[in-house]
Amino acid sequence: MRSLMIIMKKNKKKWLVIVSLLIVFTILHATPSITLKTHVFVMGYPIAALTSGIIEDDFHNKVDKEKFAKINAKAYTLTEPPIEKATQGELRNYLVRKIGIWYFAEYLGEG
């Protein structure tokens, strides 16, 4: 009986960790702007993630309207983008897709 209690406590801790991670993941992927800021932060640009504004990228959203509709995505632009260390280029445009209840961001590029 005592060993069963120990096993239950261990499983309870595992489930608590799993549920906690799932909650944190959900919070960080709950909206396009939070997802984009999280992505930029993880890319290694925490200051840009915290200080840059986010606007919809009207150009890419119009040009690629049908393509974006198929993949449930929208393009966004950072108003104060980070500068890539290797090329000194601005990392300005991002694509944010909605999959289920979560949003996921990726760098879109300039063109």
30 DSSP assignment: S
Which residue bears the tokens 């200080």?
51
Q: Is the pTM of this model over 0.75?
A: yes
| 106: pLDDT strictly greater than 70 | yes
What are the boundaries of each domain within the chain? 31-107
pLDDT score, position 87: 87
CA distance 36 to 55: 11
CA-based Rg of the chain, rounded to a whole angstrom? 19
Please report the pLDDT score of residue 3 as a whole number: 67
Give residue-wise pLDDT tens across range 52-102.
Answer: 999 999 999 999 999 999 999 999 999 999 998 888 889 999 999 999 999
pLDDT of residue 14: 83
Owner of token pair 């549920």: 19
Q: What is the pLDDT of residues 8-43, one digit of tens each?
A: 666 788 888 888 999 999 999 999 999 999 999 999
